[in-house]
Amino acid sequence: MGLVTQEFDLYAVREEHELLRESVRALVESKIAPYAAAVDHDARYPQEAHDALHAADMAAIHIPEEYGGAGADALATCIVIEEVARACVSSSLIPAVNKLGTMPVILAGSEELKRRYLTPVARGEGMFSYALSEPEAGSDAGGMTTRAVPDGDGWRLNGVKRWITNAGVSDYYTVMAVTEPGIGTRGISAFVVEKADEGVSFGAPEKKLGIKGSPTREVYFDNVWIPGDRIIGEPGTGFKTAMRTLDHTRVTIAAQAVGVAQGALDYATQYVKERRQFGKPIAELQGVQFMLADMGMKLTAARQLTYTAAAKSERNDADLTYFGAAAKCFASDAAMEITTDAVQLLGGYGYTQDYPLERMMRDAKITQIYEGTNQVQRVVMARQLLKG
């Protein structure tokens, strides 16, 4: 697809990215949006979106060209996620989680590991998930208890991971585990685990408020043997890799939030132009106009912050940690406010499943929670500010 840009020249980037946006939007409107309500209602995996995104080489558009990918830059990846989330947040987790799962390999994996696992994902022959959280280790990810101990020329893995997005669907998992107890996060390592590995199993899908089409399950590791060449980076570097990964992928959650907010604003705007009360369209009521203005303002600010963070992700700027947290936090808070206001603008209709806004509001909520709650994002930002 040739979407790699070495320099972020504003005008060059704008043209090629807007062409990408048009392409993704056409794909979404024809092959993803028509199934969004059913995916939510039936709590089923969005297979139609899966097939469409893979056929268009957009399911893992971020993978570099040398591994068979499109080589899309961070902003292009955000645009894909944003446009899919505009219609179906569950479906947007296909490219988002593929990036989350593969980033540790991209950032710290050996060349052989990259070729072995990034290539099939780029070809649409597998998907990647990210396994960090545990039942007793959520925001305190460093408190994990999943263990990997040396065993011959490999490792023996035991433990449980929780809140794993697309678990059971993905073929590959980046798994963080303690390899040297007693030294805190410096004793955590990262591994690639395959769904087909003996001893890997999955819990029942969680019954969730939103993103019902994306399976969220526990992953169990019962004496799973992992070959030594599947470690990502050096032993003890897993937690650092996990945090570096989140610096980049929080930007994609911001894009997801921007997308669902845009979808809600678009729908509400069209509705208020058609809905008549007191003898005129309610769009002519000043109170309604003020709500739309505030929604648009928040969305514009969220998008600009997200795109700035994407540029910093592409360049791996020193202040990416701050901007990634800021974009994720601001955009998800804005998405929750915008989708809630969109429901309000439809009145009683907004509260029913006959209209998409109640689904969008439910889906938006998770963007304030996963990949670090927004309270954690504020801690991250404050620490960056205090460091100067």
- 111 and 158 share a domain? no
**pLDDT score of 319:** 97
- Nearest by Cα to 84 from 39, 119, 129: 39
Pair (146, 21) in one structural domain: no
Locate all alpha helices (DSSP H) within 178-237, ordered by sequence.
none
CATH code of residue 253: 1.20.140.10
Residue 155 per-residue DSSP state:
E
Residue 151 inside a domain? The answer is yes
Inside any domain, residue 3? no
Taking the C-alpha atoms of residue 318 and residue 303, their distance in angstroms, rounded to an integer, is: 21
- How many structural domains does the chain have? 3
Cα separation, 212 vs 93, in Å, equals 11
Q: Kindly state whether residues 312 and 352 are assigned to the same domain.
A: yes
Based on the fold, state whether residues 53 and 69 are members of the same structural domain: yes
Going by the DSSP 8-state scheme, the letter that residue 132 receives in this structure is -
In a domain, 34, yes or no: yes
- Inter-residue contact 58 to 25 (CB < 8 Å): no
Are 191 and 157 a contacting pair, CB within 8 Å?
A: yes
Query: Could you give the residue numbers annotated as active site?
Result: 371
If asked whether residues 257 and 365 sit together in one domain, one would say yes
Q: Look up the domain containing 252 and give its range.
A: 240-387
Burial of 7 (0-12, 13-18, 19+ CB in 10 A): exposed
User: In Å, how far from its chain's centre is CA 358?
Assistant: 21
Residue 1 is assigned to a structural domain of this protein = no
Last residue of a domain, one of 238, 268, 286: 238
Per-residue confidence (pLDDT) for residue 306, from 0 to 100: 97
Q: Are residues 140 and 204 in the same domain?
A: yes
Report the DSSP pairing between strands 128-131 and 154-165.
Answer: unpaired
Q: Which of 122, 148, 168 is the last residue of a domain?
A: 122
Q: What is the dihedral of CA 20, 25, 30, 33, to 10 degrees?
A: 140
pLDDT in tens, the chain (388 residues): 334 334 444 444 578 999 999 999 999 999 999 999 999 999 999 999 999 999 999 999 999 999 999 999 999 999 999 999 999 999 999 999 999 999 999 999 999 999 999 999 999 999 999 999 999 999 999 999 999 999 999 999 999 999 999 999 999 999 999 999 999 999 999 999 999 999 999 999 999 999 999 999 999 999 999 999 999 999 999 999 999 999 999 999 999 999 999 999 999 999 999 999 999 999 999 999 999 999 999 999 999 999 999 999 999 999 999 999 999 999 999 999 999 999 999 999 999 999 999 999 999 999 999 999 999 999 999 999 999 8
Other residues' Cβ atoms within 10 Å of the Cβ of residue 192? 24
Cβ–Cβ under 8 Å, residues 141 and 239: yes
List, in sequence order, every residue forming a beta bridge with 189; answer none if it has no partner. 177
Residues 234, 345, single domain; the answer is no
Establish if 183 belongs to a structural domain: yes
Same domain, 258 and 213: no
**Is residue 2 included in any domain, yes or no?**
no
For the whole model, what pTM was predicted?
A: 0.95
CATH number of the domain to which 101 belongs: 1.10.540.10
CATH code, 135: 2.40.110.10
Distance CA 131, CA 129 (A): 7
39: in domain: yes
Q: How far apart are CA 10 and CA 8, in angstroms?
A: 6
> Among residues 206, 238, 270, which one ends one of the domains?
238
Note whether 388 and 113 are within 8 A (CB). Answer: no
113 with 168, same domain? Answer: no
Terminal Cα distance for the chain, rounded: 39
228 with 336, same domain?
A: no
Integer CA distances (angstroms), 63 to 16, 59, 115, in order: 18, 10, 11
Q: Can you tell me the distance from the alpha carbon of 101 to that of 172, in angstroms, rounded to the nearest whole number?
A: 8
Residue 245 lies in a domain: yes
